[in-house]
Amino acid sequence: MFAYNVHHVGIAVNDLDEAIASHTGLYGGEVLYRELIESQGVTEVMIPLGGTSIQLLQPTTEDTPVGRFLAKRGEGLHHIAYAVADIEAALAHLVAEGVELIDVKPRRGGGGHKIAFVHPRAFAGTLIELIEVVE
């Protein structure tokens, strides 16, 4: 069995600077990093809060996964990310269990970490991200 811990909660936003001001002002967190992830078409900010983090995501264009999400659903919860020790093994386990994946192989995410997404149909309509933290 695999140990999954909540690593972060991803929130799609229209205005990243406004969202940063709101989250840091309301919750007292500080921005850990801000990064453009061109391959995913987003600029992301990670704000540690307690034992997890809030990831704010602003699309670079409307024709990206987060851009389409915002157009369809508006701002709000985009995904929940679970930290795993071995992302390849976790993906293999999910495939063996018949779980539908978006990413069958990990890709590079923010902070240089390995990530992969599990289709929302697998978890009651919630997009799940697996993340293997690369130190």
Catalytic residues: 8, 44, 55, 79, 129
**What is the b/e burial string over 60-75, where b = at least 16 CB atoms within 10 angstroms of the residue's CB?**
eeeeebbbebbeeeee
Q: Which of 37, 74, 73 is nearest to 55 (CA)?
A: 37
C-alpha 80/C-alpha 8 separation (Å) is: 6
- Residue 34: helix, strand or coil by DSSP? strand
**CA dist., res. 126 & res. 135, Å (int):** 28
Torsion of CA 66, 67, 70, 72, to 10 degrees: -110
